[in-house]
Amino acid sequence: MGRDKTRRLSGSRHLRQRLVLATLTSTGVTIDDIRSGDAAPGLRPYEVSLLRLLDKISDRHTIDLNETGTKLKYMPGVIQGGKGLEHDCGVHRGIGYFLEPLILLGLFAKAPISIRLKGITNDTKDPSVDTFRMTTLHMLKHFGVPLEGLELKIDSRGSPPLGGGEVFLRVPNINSTLTAANWVDEGMVKRIRGVSFSTRVSPQIESRIIYAARGIFNRFIPDVHIFTDHRSGASGGRSPGYGVSLVAETTTGCLLSVDATVSYPSVDEINDESEKPELMSPEDLGVQAASMLLEEVAQGGVVDSTHQGLLFILCALCPADVSKVRVGQLTPHGIETLRNIRDFLNVMFVIKPDPNSNTITLKCVGAGVKNIARKSS
Amino acid sequence: LLATLSRRSASLMQRVYEPSVKLDSVVSEENDDTEANSSDDEFFVPKGQKKQADNELPTYDDIDAEDCSKFFKAKLRDWSNEDLINSIRDRFVTGNWSK
């Protein structure tokens, strides 16, 4: 095992990607200067929670953190996976924050992972669990992951700031490698689906969101169906909130998603002025989400801007075979992902703009990352 | 045309993989910022507070940038506008395909 390799990094940015890529390449990382100049230095509670999650699913690894939390040493071990795991994600970031690295790690685990995650299911910073269920999991099938073992069940929902949601995730482990994807045809949008949710508020709100969103979509396409998911009582978590996740399906099976949530500010953002802020109305939220989706459609590409990072990582993990994908404009997160991929996997993408459709095609030869955890068993 | 195309793709790859040029300019800007600040009576400004005060966009080179995959469009356009509707009409199956 390549335990002699270590990488020195600084700063807290892209901690999740760095940890995931370090784990998959068995490279140790030392990250220092984590918010060292900040008023509150060191790792945030959600980052510590992420490390605990990593600790839960892997074995023979070491995680060292100094007293102030500004320096982190991580030596990856073997991802074990397993059944009946449980993790409390806290209320600082949504469950989406944890799902993104978790599905990547799960694919390269020794045994399939099934885990119960508790926390905030829908918030503004992270992709919602609905987006994950409807879009992210379906992305994996383009890389040869069977959909059967993939499952995300939403047992209860939780909005910020108090959360109280619970989801159940199953990720299969792959046999040895992913398969390279040639995924450039984005097709045309043939239907729009979605789900609106409300927790601890009137179910009427959902119809108001849907009515507003449909008003925008009706100019484009008649096949629009947005489901409702009203939660009250225990399955509605501990805070009021509402939101909607929308997916545009194309003729070639690409999924473009957006989500929007309205709730009271999370624990991190509560300022001195403690009066409750005015919330966005359901009508405005519906219009906003619909406009966001149309922006994604206008931009083109086989995935939406939120999923660019994951798409690039999946391409880079493929065996030594050419993967070709098309995206709209590169997002800052996507660019950072490309840099991290170069640093850890030594994979450079050939990036070509396509002036006819204003999109960008990316080509790469995968690094051929194998599921070593499974092989050794 | 071909030459400009290849230059464009080269610049795109440069933008992604060679951040050094950009980094320099950003750093010098930041230096200017701190100099401007230091002339004020507030000499020591904790990083977090400074950012809130400036309310600036997160830069590519902030080593403690927030880890967030969602991308926020700065401003949403009004999609009830007829011109805008027509601009993406053909991205839907209901569009006009005779062209």
- State the SS3 of chain A: CCCCCEEEEECCCCHHHHHHHHHHCCCEEEEECCCCCCCCCCCCHHHHHHHHHHHHHEECCEEEECCCCCCEEEECCEECCEEEEEEECCCCCEHHHHHHHHHHHHHCCCCCEEEEEEEECCCCCCCCHHHHHHHHHHHHHHHCCCCCCCEEEEEECCECCCECEEEEEEECCCCCCCCCCEECCCCCEEEEEEEEEEECCCCHHHHHHHHHHHHHHCCCCCCEEEEEEEECHHHHCCCCEEEEEEEEEECCCCEEEEEEEEECCCCCCCCCCCCCCCCCCHHHHHHHHHHHHHHHHHHCECCCHHHHHHHHHHHHHCCCCEEEEEECCCCHHHHHHHHHHHHHHCCCCEEEEECCCCEEEEEEECCCCCCHHHHCC
Q: What is the pLDDT of residue A265?
A: 79
A142 Cβ neighbours under 8 A, 6+ residues apart = A181, A183
The Cα A100–Cα A20 span in angstroms is: 10
Lowest mean pLDDT among A203-212, B43-52, B84-93: B43-52
With cut-offs at 50, 70 and 90, classify the pLDDT of residue B72.
Answer: confident
Q: What is the pLDDT of residue A350?
A: 93
Q: What is the pLDDT of residue A309?
A: 94
pLDDT score of A197 more than 80: yes
| Residue B99 located in a structural domain | no
Tell me the per-residue pLDDT of A279-292, one tens digit each, with 9 for 90 and over: 889 999 999 999 99
Q: What is the pLDDT of residue B79?
A: 87
What Å distances lie between residue B33 and B26, B36, B39, B50, B60, CA to CA?
10, 5, 10, 11, 17
Lowest mean pLDDT among A335-339, B35-39, B85-89: B35-39
The Cα A2–Cα A20 span in angstroms is: 16
Task: Tell how strand A151-156 and strand A182-183 pair up.
Answer: unpaired
Choice between A251 and B20, residue whose per-residue pLDDT is larger: A251
The Cα A228–Cα A214 span in angstroms is: 14
Cβ–Cβ < 8 Å for A302, A327 = yes
Mean pLDDT, residues A147-158: 93
Choice between A271 and B56, residue whose per-residue pLDDT is larger: A271
Mean pLDDT, residues B44-53: 49
pLDDT score of B55 more than 50: no
Tracing tokens 């500004």 back to the chain, one arrives at A70
CB contacts, 8 Å: A34 with chain B: 64
| DSSP state at residue B59 | P
Q: What is the pLDDT of residue A271?
A: 57
pLDDT score of A1 more than 50: no
Q: What is the pLDDT of residue A258?
A: 94
* A333 in B contact zone (CB under 8 Å): yes
With cut-offs at 50, 70 and 90, classify the pLDDT of residue A159.
Answer: very high
Mean pLDDT, residues B38-64: 51
pLDDT score of B49 more than 60: no
- Extract the tokens encoding A54: 């990593």
Q: Do A292 and B76 touch (CB under 8 A)?
A: yes
* B10 in A contact zone (CB under 8 Å): no
Q: Residue A187's closest chain B neighbor by CA?
A: B91
- Count of domains in chain B? 1
Q: Chain A 293-332, CB below 8 Å of chain B: which residues?
A: 294-295, 297-298, 300, 305-307, 309-310, 330-332
Lowest mean pLDDT among A45-59, A350-364, B17-31, B85-99: B17-31
CB contacts, 8 Å: A222 with chain B: 94
Of the candidates A328, A329, A336, the one whose C-alpha atom is nearest the C-alpha of residue A309 is A336
pLDDT score of A335 more than 50: yes
Distance from CA of B7 to the nearest CA of A (A): 10
β partners of residue B96:
none
* A358 in B contact zone (CB under 8 Å): no
- Extract the tokens encoding A192: 């729009």
Q: What is the pLDDT of residue A375?
A: 66
Domain that residue B39 falls in: 2-57+67-91
The Cα A345–Cα A2 span in angstroms is: 13
Quickly count: other Cβ atoms within 10 Å of residue A332's Cβ.
16
With cut-offs at 50, 70 and 90, classify the pLDDT of residue A264.
Answer: confident
Which element (helix H / strand E) includes B41? none
Cβ–Cβ < 8 Å for A116, A160 = no
Lowest mean pLDDT among A89-93, A150-154, B49-53: B49-53
pLDDT score of A269 more than 70: no
Q: Residue A35's closest chain B neighbor by CA?
A: B64
pLDDT score of A50 more than 80: yes
Question: What's the ipTM?
Answer: 0.78
Phi, psi of B32, deg, nearest 5: -60, -45
Percentage of chain A exceeding pLDDT 90: 77
The Cα A137–Cα A115 span in angstroms is: 15
pLDDT score of A43 more than 70: yes
Q: What is the pLDDT of residue A285?
A: 94
With cut-offs at 50, 70 and 90, classify the pLDDT of residue B69.
Answer: confident
With cut-offs at 50, 70 and 90, classify the pLDDT of residue A176.
Answer: confident
The Cα A225–Cα A9 span in angstroms is: 46
With cut-offs at 50, 70 and 90, classify the pLDDT of residue A214.
Answer: very high
With cut-offs at 50, 70 and 90, classify the pLDDT of residue B26.
Answer: very low
Q: Chain A 192-211, CB below 8 Å of chain B: which residues?
A: none
With cut-offs at 50, 70 and 90, classify the pLDDT of residue A2.
Answer: very low
Mean pLDDT, residues A9-18: 90
Q: Do A13 and B80 touch (CB under 8 A)?
A: no
| DSSP state at residue B55 | T
With cut-offs at 50, 70 and 90, classify the pLDDT of residue A6.
Answer: confident
Length of chain A: 377
Q: What is the pLDDT of residue B53?
A: 42
Amino acid residing at A222: P
Of B88, B93, B95, the CB nearest to A294: B88
Cβ–Cβ < 8 Å for A50, A89 = no
| Residue B81 located in a structural domain | yes
Of the candidates A133, A129, A136, A149, the one whose C-alpha atom is nearest the C-alpha of residue A83 is A149
Of the candidates A12, A209, A212, the one whose C-alpha atom is nearest the C-alpha of residue A122 is A209
